């Protein structure tokens, strides 16, 4: 293990432990993709759909 890998792994583990509450076994079992996804900011809530009346108005406006 090169010193730079070890230093980076330790820093990433510290982030995972502090912010995600991960234990060492969980950190080492995770893929880089899983770690990145876990640290990504939450997505904004999905927009709510439209109701039937709004859809009807859109359809009427579209067809005259």
Boundaries of every domain in the chain: 1-43
For the chain, percent of residues with pLDDT exceeding 90: 69
In order, the DSSP letters of 17-64 are: IIII---HHHHHHS-HHHHHHHHSPPPPPPPP---HHHHHHHHHHHH-
Tokens 């439209």 correspond to 50
Q: Considering only residues 11 and 1, tell me which one the structure prediction assigns the higher pLDDT.
A: 11
The tens digit of pLDDT for each residue in 32-59 reads 999 999 999 988 888 888 899 999 999 9
Cβ-proximal residues to 26 (8 Å cutoff; 6+ apart), any chain: 16
């Amino acid at each position: 293990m090169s010193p730079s890998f070890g230093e980076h792994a330790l820093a990433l583990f510290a982030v995972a432990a502090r912010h995600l509450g991960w234990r060492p076994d969980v950190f080492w079992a995770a893929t880089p993709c899983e770690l990145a996804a876990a640290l990504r900011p939450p997505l904004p809530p999905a927009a709510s759909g439209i109701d039937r009346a709004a859809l009807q108005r859109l359809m009427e406006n579209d067809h005259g």
